[in-house]
């Protein structure tokens, strides 16, 4: 999720440049909003596969993503009041708190050093790397 300048934040609502239903799985290294913030949007657009993340990351996303959805709803309401005064069409939120909550069903919590067999060719392991988790591929 883009943060900072209003012009960048507006890019969050741009369509993805790929078909989200073609993604087999996601690896979420940590719960910072710039990494996890558009997961509800990708799920809203049809992603229905696993999102592998450390259990602590999953726990944080359970709080953070619905809160982010609430913020999206409040901010777009304020923006839409201004847009309506200017005679412009109202815009939907990037995603709602409910949509963010709904995406949590795809999160698969894993532990540090646990080897996850994605398929016969892909195995992953999350390791503590300080700021974020380090992922080793096998």
pLDDT digits (tens, 9 = 90+) for 16-47: 889 999 999 999 998 888 889 999 999 999 99
Question: May I ask the CATH architecture of the domain 6-137?
Answer: 4-Layer Sandwich (3.60)
What is the b/e burial string over 8-30, where b = at least 16 CB atoms within 10 angstroms of the residue's CB? eeeeeeeeeeeebeeeebbbbbb
For residue 31, what are the contacts with CB-CB under 8 A and spacing of at least 6?
53, 56, 57, 60, 61, 64
List the domain boundaries for the chain: 6-137
Q: What is the pLDDT of residue 1?
A: 79
Which carries the bigger pLDDT value, residue 2 or residue 132?
2
pLDDT digits (tens, 9 = 90+) for 42-89: 999 999 999 999 998 999 999 999 999 999 999 999 999 999 999 999
Q: What is the pLDDT of residue 93?
A: 95
What is the reported pTM? 0.85
Q: What is the pLDDT of residue 39?
A: 97
Which carries the bigger pLDDT value, residue 7 or residue 101?
101
Q: How much is the average pLDDT of 111-135?
A: 82
């Amino acid at each position: 999720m883009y943060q900072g300048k209003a012009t960048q934040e507006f890019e969050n609502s741009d369509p993805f440049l790929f078909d989200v239903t073609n993604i087999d799985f996601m690896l979420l290294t940590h719960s910072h909003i710039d990494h996890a913030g558009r997961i509800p949007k990708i799920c809203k657009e049809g992603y229905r596969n696993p999102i592998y993340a450390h259990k602590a990351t999953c726990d944080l996303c359970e709080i953070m993503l619905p809160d982010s959805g609430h913020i999206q709803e409040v901010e777009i309401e304020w923006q839409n009041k201004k847009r309506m005064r200017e005679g412009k069409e109202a815009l939907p939120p990037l995603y709602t708190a409910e949509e963010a909550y709904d995406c949590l069903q795809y999160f698969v919590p894993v532990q540090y050093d646990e080897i996850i067999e994605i398929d016969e060719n892909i195995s992953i392991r999350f390791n503590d790397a300080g700021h974020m988790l380090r992922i080793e591929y096998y």
